[in-house]
Amino acid sequence: MKMFSVAHKTVFVVDHCPYMAESSRQQVECDVLTKSRAQGVIPLAPVSKSLWTCAVECSMEYCRILYDIYPKDKLVNYIVSDSEFHILNSWRREDQSTHELMSALAAVGPPNPREDPECCSILHGLVAAVESLCKITELQHEKRIALMDTAERVANRGRIICLTNAKSDTHVRMLEDCIQETIIEQNKLAAGSDRLMAIQQCELVLVHIYPQGEDTLVSDRPKKEISPLLTSEVHSVRAGRHLATKLNILVQQHFDLASTTITNIPMKEEQHANTSANYDVELLHHRDAHLEFFKSGDLHMAGTSTRENGLKETVTLKWCTPRTNSIELHYCTGAYRISPTDVNSRPSSCLTNFLLNGKLDSSQFLPAERAKAQLERHTRYWPMIISQTTIFNMQAVVPLANLIVKETLTDEDVLTCQKTVYNLVDMERKNDPLPISTVGSRGKGPKRDEQYRIMWNELETLVKTHAGATDRHQRVLDCIIACRSKPPEEEDRKKRGRKREEREDRTEKNGNKETDDKSWQDSERLKGLMDKDEQESEVIKDSPDSPEPLNKKPRLTSEEIQPPERSKGPVSLLTMWSNRITAVNSRKHQEFFGRASSVNNKFELYQHLKDENGMDVHENGKATR
Amino acid sequence: MPTVVLMDVSLSMTRPVSLDGIEEFQRKNLAVHGLNMLFEHMASNYRLEFTSLMAFSSLWELLVPFTRDYNALQEALSNLEDYDKTCVEAALNGVSNVVQQEWGSACPCQLQMTDAMDNLEELLRLSGGDGQIFTMEGPLCMKSVQTMFGKLIDLVYSPFHAVLHCGNLSSDVQVFPRPEPVVMDEEVEPMPRTVSTDLEIVGFIEIADIASPPVISRHLVLPIAVNKDVDEVGTGTTDELEEEPSASQMAGKSPNFCVLLHGSLKVEGMVALVQLGPEWYGMLYSQADSKKKSNLMMSLFDPGPEPLPWLGKISHLGPISEAADNPYGEDDSKSPFPVQPQVKRSYAQNVTVWIKASGLQTDVQKILRNARKLPDKTQTFYKELNRLRKAALAFGFWELLKGVADLLERECTMLPDSAHPDAAFQLSHAAQQLKLASTGDSQYAAFDHNIVPMHTDFSS
């Protein structure tokens, strides 16, 4: 169905002239006496609905089904006509509900049988209906604005359903001619207006309603073209259940609906709570729901039955009590809104209540743009391999990691982050082990102080990606920089002032920390590798089949040597000063042979004694014997 | 979308094609040449496609059932024999059989045929209009065959490459089968919508909340090597020669976001909502192939801002952390879904329908049942009474109001001696109010007015 097919706008024009107050002559017994109370009680005389009541309740049923299945943008405008027209609602979305219409209908009340019939006509309403079809709906307006220069693609079509008691076929023809003329007039008016649209297609469905037991004065007529703008069809129907059936068929035709009957639904009996019987419930829905049946040619297998009028069929499906497994995704080609044909019957309401299942929480939602922004923040630093991260393996970092990705931080958040940092400093002082992966690194992996250096670098990288967000984020970064232990060369550099050339030089030499402009991949992660004398790529190292690590070479650069106390958290001014002096001084003398040729900062002393002494011991032993 | 190649092997296909007297081909040879080109393309760029080869004349024969073995298809092509005359109806029946047997009826299928016929367009129209006829431009020769198959390949068999984004993480992916363009409304939006080559994850949602939603198509999402110059398949020879590893080998060794995403979705039991274009969304999820193997898949929803009514507008969804209160509750005991519609559906509210007599009788009986249990059931009695009153006023059914008033008065006279004195007061009060409403007097017949219980002082 096109967005702006005739189904977009439906005008109900219901006759409110005095003759509609006549009885439908279909009687309803509403005093159903139970046997025990029947003695001596005179039952109430049956009531009968007027033609008006029949027309109103059937049109409301049409609207109920329509609104259930198309809650949006299939619109109804309800007009009643007597000595003038009364428009009960507008095309606006907020006016589209049966409750709104019922309220307006109550205000109108039943037709006044004493009104002068000469003044009353359905024509007032029909003219108003054409005028109404020219009025632009919210959806038409929105689409015209969205399409800009192709706004002419927004069509204006509509349907008029007229429930009346016509006098004759000639009378019907007169009504059709009158509608045709009004369309032409109104289209001229619409051409010069922004809020009106010319009608491109109008479908008149005239339903002639007459009391039971009378002969009809109007003949049925299938759809015919009155003009390129107007088609018309006439249905002559007895009031009461015939009218209800007719409008039920019409709503299905008008909105591409089809019927499915769910059979064998087990349900507790009302009277006997411990017994259960099987019921059937008929549902209406978009006919596409049956598409797959037709494709497979299985429709007859699913079971169809023809209804009384031979026009509509219903597909029967057998109820299966669903095994709810909400953690599984099933392949689903279609989901369709439904409306029970008999909405307040007990089986229908049992079924719908079961399906609605009392989920009535409502909550406010936030724009998706904020979700995207959050994803962006959360993925600024996101190691993809678990063994390549230290901080995300540490429970102690969790509070900070959770907070730092927030768009804004409170002072309390900053405090929590700072506490996390202090806690890490404390761990470092206590020399607590870190969850640094040793997979593939054959041996114990990096030393403790090296581990902490990697951890601090990673933490700093994480926080740096957020530091620009707010001052409070920056404060967290400042805290880390102030508290973390640093390799001596960095301390040196700070005190000597940061000269650009020198920095570049160092970057080349040993990959230093001032590489803010690089992403984490090439700075932090790779730096760790470069520091380890540019071993093979870490990715390979992590694989169980990776080659042996390269032979450990003695470190030659004095910068790599860290005094043991360096790794133990915050240091006193004195220590910092003496470290600096030591570092500076260390450059002023030739490096000790032992330190220069150490392996992992270790150098075995008195190596030459090994061979000689070994021999001695042996000899001595021999000698003692 | 699987492919059926339906090859005409009638005698007409053996007609010679003269090429300025240089060489002589049969039409059949041209067709085989074109198909070989297609199969070669598929073998290297569209390997996941299942293809089957059928031959037909007055009868039909399945030469190669659906397979990804393109060598087998080419082999079969080279062994074609010639038969009698063309009869397409039988062949199409055969296609229908073969397809339904292998794929079921819900599977769209591409159909290839290789003979010129006049009524093909009519056939296309009958089949629902989704299809296209490729004809050769210019003389019948190898070159025009290549051009024609080139067009077909570009249109239908070019792989769909995209970049999957999630914040700062991303991965190059192939989406298979390629997502087809969708026409939303032939009138308002005649241009088909195509899936963007930038797929952006907008968030994650529980499987239970998205609840097996309807989708228009499903696709595999496969990470691909970034360097497209290098043969993606990676042949064995490069390894032996110990040359630089191929791009796909490198890709296999570097961490890939698709792997992370797939693993996470599987572990968490969630799906990722992905934006496919303006106001068009889909979902990424892990789909188990077998007990051991699962794939990252993407399903496309109907285009539009609100493809799944129970989620509301996708653009209105947001991160849990930004909600004032956790919509799932602190103990994960509730869910914000399904989103409740602004106006409840008829079946979710207590609507009144009296089209069938039984509906009206039930409603009247309900009132009478409660009337007999006054004053215990005062609230229910008035609730049911007011529901009937509202409907009767809307339907202009004043006669019913009078009728029910009479019934209540009769109930009043039939009250047993043991009845609470309040019952009589409430019954006559209710009857009187209904009668007033039935006059249409605006003071008593207002739709939103409710009859309230009479204030009595029998508190004991």
Q: Which residues of B touch A103 (CB under 8 A)?
A: 394, 447-448
**Cβ contact (<8 Å) for A362 and B212?**
no
Encoding tokens for residue B315?
Answer: 């653009």
HSE toward the beta carbon, residue B289, CA cutoff 13 A? 7
Q: Is B200 in the A-facing interface, judged by CB distances under 8 Å?
A: yes
Across-strand partners of A196?
A: A135
In 3D space, the residue among A62, A75, A59 whose CA is nearest the CA of residue A20 turns out to be A59
Tens digit of each residue's pLDDT (9 = 90 or more) over A528-572:
444 444 333 333 333 334 344 444 444 444 444 444 444 455 667
Tens digit of each residue's pLDDT (9 = 90 or more) over B274-327:
999 999 999 999 998 877 889 999 999 999 999 998 888 888 888 887 777 888
**Cβ contact (<8 Å) for A71 and B343?**
yes
Residue spans of the domains in chain B: they are 1-155, 158-181+194-226+253-341, 355-443
> ipTM of the predicted structure?
0.84
HSE toward the beta carbon, residue B143, CA cutoff 13 A? 4
Report B:288-327 residues touching A (Cβ under 8 A): 308-309, 312, 314-319, 321-325, 327
CB < 8 Å & 24+ apart, contacts of A526-529: A527/A457, A528/A454, A528/A457
Tens digit of each residue's pLDDT (9 = 90 or more) over A116-141:
989 999 999 999 999 999 999 999 99
Q: Which residues of A touch B186 (CB under 8 A)?
A: 2
Question: B166: nearest CA in chain A?
Answer: A375
Q: Determine the average pLDDT of the residues in A341-365.
A: 70
Whether the predicted pLDDT of B138 surpasses 80: no
Place of tokens 């029970």: A340
What is the spatial distance between Cα A357 and Cα A348, in angstroms, rounded to a whole number? 14
Q: How far apart are the first and last CA of chain A?
A: 111
Q: Is A358 in the B-facing interface, judged by CB distances under 8 Å?
A: no
What is the spatial distance between Cα B149 and Cα B156, in angstroms, rounded to a whole number? 10
Q: Residue A179: pLDDT band by 50, 70, 90 thresholds?
A: very high
How many domains does chain A fold into? 3
Find the CB nearest B255 among A50, A359, A384. Answer: A384
In 3D space, the residue among A45, A26, A2 whose CA is nearest the CA of residue A139 turns out to be A2
CA distances from A594 to A556, A585, A604, A606, A612 (A): 11, 17, 8, 10, 20
What is the spatial distance between Cα A309 and Cα A262, in angstroms, rounded to a whole number? 21
HSE toward the beta carbon, residue A499, CA cutoff 13 A? 5
Find the CB nearest A366 among B318, B361, B399. Answer: B318
Encoding tokens for residue A181?
Answer: 């003329």
Are residues A349 and A373 located together in one domain of the fold? Answer: no
Q: Is A242 in the B-facing interface, judged by CB distances under 8 Å?
A: no
Are residues A53 and A177 located together in one domain of the fold? Answer: yes
| pTM, 2 dp | 0.78
- Range with top average pLDDT, B157-161, B178-182, B193-197, B325-329: B193-197
Report A:562-621 residues touching B (Cβ under 8 A): none
Cβ atoms A435, A393 nearer than 8 A: yes
Identity of residue B80: L
Question: B218: nearest CA in chain A?
Answer: A331
Taking the CB of residue A378, how many other CB atoms lie within 10 A of it? 17
Distance of CA A357 to the CA centre of its chain: 21
Q: What is the pLDDT of residue B393?
A: 96
Are residues A148 and A57 located together in one domain of the fold? Answer: yes
**Cβ contact (<8 Å) for B287 and A329?**
yes
Q: Which residues of A touch B431 (CB under 8 A)?
A: none
Q: Determine the average pLDDT of the residues in B179-199.
A: 91
Are residues A282 and A209 located together in one domain of the fold? Answer: no
Are residues A147 and A159 located together in one domain of the fold? Answer: yes
Lateral strand order in the sheet of A75-81? A85-87, A75-81, A9-15, A157-164, A201-210, A230-238, A221-225
Per DSSP, the residues of B144-204 read: HHHHHHHHHHHHHSS-EEEEEEETTEEEEEEEESPPPPB-SBTTTB-SPB---SEEEEEEE
Q: What is the pLDDT of residue A605?
A: 74
Find the CB nearest A370 among B166, B322, B356. Answer: B322
Q: Is A359 in the B-facing interface, judged by CB distances under 8 Å?
A: yes
Q: Is B391 in the A-facing interface, judged by CB distances under 8 Å?
A: yes
Are residues A74 and A215 located together in one domain of the fold? Answer: yes
Cβ atoms A278, A267 nearer than 8 A: yes
Cβ atoms A254, A7 nearer than 8 A: yes
Find the CB nearest B188 among A4, A48, A99. Answer: A4
Are residues A124 and A104 located together in one domain of the fold? Answer: yes
Q: At what angle do helices A241-254 and A51-69 cross, to 10 degrees?
A: 30
Residue A450 lies in a domain: yes
Q: Is A68 in the B-facing interface, judged by CB distances under 8 Å?
A: yes
**Cβ contact (<8 Å) for B395 and A361?**
no
- Topology of the domain covering B158-181+194-226+253-341: Ku70; Chain: A; Domain 2 (2.40.290)
Q: Which residues of B touch A56 (CB under 8 A)?
A: 394-396
Place of tokens 């609470």: B420
**Cβ contact (<8 Å) for A31 and B203?**
no
In 3D space, the residue among B229, B313, B223, B225 whose CA is nearest the CA of residue B273 turns out to be B313
Q: Is B231 helix (H, G, I), strand (E, B) or coil?
A: coil
Identity of residue A402: N
Residue A530 lies in a domain: no
Outline where A549-589 has alpha helix (H): 573-588
Domain that includes residue A339, residue range: 259-321+334-353
Are residues A146 and A288 located together in one domain of the fold? Answer: no
Q: Is B437 helix (H, G, I), strand (E, B) or coil?
A: helix
Residue A428 lies in a domain: yes
Q: Is B47 in the A-facing interface, judged by CB distances under 8 Å?
A: no
What is the spatial distance between Cα A459 and Cα A401, in angstroms, rounded to a whole number? 9
Burial of A275 (0-12, 13-18, 19+ CB in 10 A): exposed
**Cβ contact (<8 Å) for B317 and A48?**
no
Q: Residue B23: pLDDT band by 50, 70, 90 thresholds?
A: low
Q: Is A108 in the B-facing interface, judged by CB distances under 8 Å?
A: yes
Q: Which residues of B touch A376 (CB under 8 A)?
A: 167-168
Question: B285: nearest CA in chain A?
Answer: A329
Report B:242-261 residues touching A (Cβ under 8 A): 253-257, 259-260
Q: Is B97 in the A-facing interface, judged by CB distances under 8 Å?
A: no
Q: Please count the residue pairs, one from chain A and one from chain B, whose beta carbons lie less than 8 angstroms apart.
A: 269
Tens digit of each residue's pLDDT (9 = 90 or more) over A28-59:
887 776 655 556 677 788 899 999 999 999 99
Q: Residue B19: pLDDT band by 50, 70, 90 thresholds?
A: low
Q: Which residues of A touch B188 (CB under 8 A)?
A: 2-4, 143, 147, 153-154
Q: Residue B122: pLDDT band by 50, 70, 90 thresholds?
A: low
Tens digit of each residue's pLDDT (9 = 90 or more) over B338-389:
888 888 889 888 899 999 998 999 999 999 999 998 889 999 999 999 999 9
**Cβ contact (<8 Å) for A368 and B316?**
yes
Q: What is the pLDDT of residue B250?
A: 59
Find the CB nearest A343 among B106, B200, B353. Answer: B353
Shortest Cα–Cα distance, B223 to chain A (Å): 15
Cβ atoms B217, B299 nearer than 8 A: yes
CB < 8 Å & 24+ apart, contacts of A27-34: A28/B354, A28/B357, A28/B360, A28/B361, A29/B357, A29/B361, A30/B360, A30/B361, A30/B364, A30/B400, A30/B403, A30/B404, A30/B407, A31/B364, A31/B403, A31/B407, A32/B361, A32/B364, A32/B365
In 3D space, the residue among B113, B125, B53 whose CA is nearest the CA of residue B87 turns out to be B113
Q: Which residues of B touch A139 (CB under 8 A)?
A: none
What is the spatial distance between Cα B407 and Cα B372, in angstroms, rounded to a whole number? 12
- Range with top average pLDDT, A249-263, A561-575, B251-265: A249-263
The CATH superfamily of B1-155 is von Willebrand factor, type A domain (3.40.50.410)
Are residues A136 and A124 located together in one domain of the fold? Answer: yes
Q: Is B333 in the A-facing interface, judged by CB distances under 8 Å?
A: no
In 3D space, the residue among A517, A480, A514, A485 whose CA is nearest the CA of residue A404 turns out to be A480
Tens digit of each residue's pLDDT (9 = 90 or more) over A293-322:
776 665 554 444 444 444 457 888 888 876
**Cβ contact (<8 Å) for B397 and A60?**
no
Cβ atoms A89, A95 nearer than 8 A: yes
Are residues A60 and A202 located together in one domain of the fold? Answer: yes
Across-strand partners of A250?
A: none
Q: What is the pLDDT of residue A298?
A: 53
Q: Is A474 in the B-facing interface, judged by CB distances under 8 Å?
A: no
Q: Which residues of B touch A45 (CB under 8 A)?
A: 403
Report the CATH number that the domain containing residue A236 is assigned in CATH.
3.40.50.410
**Cβ contact (<8 Å) for A343 and B166?**
no
Are residues A51 and A155 located together in one domain of the fold? Answer: yes
Find the CB nearest A56 among B257, B269, B396. Answer: B396
CA distances from A110 to A27, A46, A50, A52, B320 (A): 18, 19, 9, 7, 52
Q: What is the pLDDT of residue A444?
A: 61
Cβ atoms B383, A379 nearer than 8 A: no
Percent above pLDDT 70 for chain B: 85
Question: A139: nearest CA in chain B?
Answer: B188
Percent above pLDDT 90 for chain B: 37
Tens digit of each residue's pLDDT (9 = 90 or more) over A421-448:
999 999 988 888 887 765 555 566 677 8
HSE toward the beta carbon, residue A433, CA cutoff 13 A? 7
Q: What is the pLDDT of residue A502?
A: 46
Report A:198-237 residues touching B (Cβ under 8 A): none
Task: Give the least confident one: A378-382, A607-611, B13-17, B37-41.
Answer: A607-611
Find the CB nearest B322 among A329, A330, A366. Answer: A366
Q: Determine the average pLDDT of the residues in A246-251.
A: 96
Q: Is A418 in the B-facing interface, judged by CB distances under 8 Å?
A: no
Q: Is A189 in the B-facing interface, judged by CB distances under 8 Å?
A: no
Q: What angle do CA B296, B299, B304 make, to 5 degrees?
A: 145
What is the spatial distance between Cα A249 and Cα A307, in angstroms, rounded to a whole number? 11
HSE toward the beta carbon, residue B189, CA cutoff 13 A? 13
Find the CB nearest A56 among B211, B343, B395. Answer: B395
Question: A283: nearest CA in chain B?
Answer: B347
Are residues A239 and A269 located together in one domain of the fold? Answer: no
Q: Is A449 in the B-facing interface, judged by CB distances under 8 Å?
A: no
Q: Is A293 in the B-facing interface, judged by CB distances under 8 Å?
A: no
Q: Residue B95: pLDDT band by 50, 70, 90 thresholds?
A: confident
**Cβ contact (<8 Å) for B318 and A367?**
yes
**Boundary of a domain, candidates A456, A473, A488:** A488
> Which helix (H) or strand (E) is A482 found in, with range?
helix A471-483
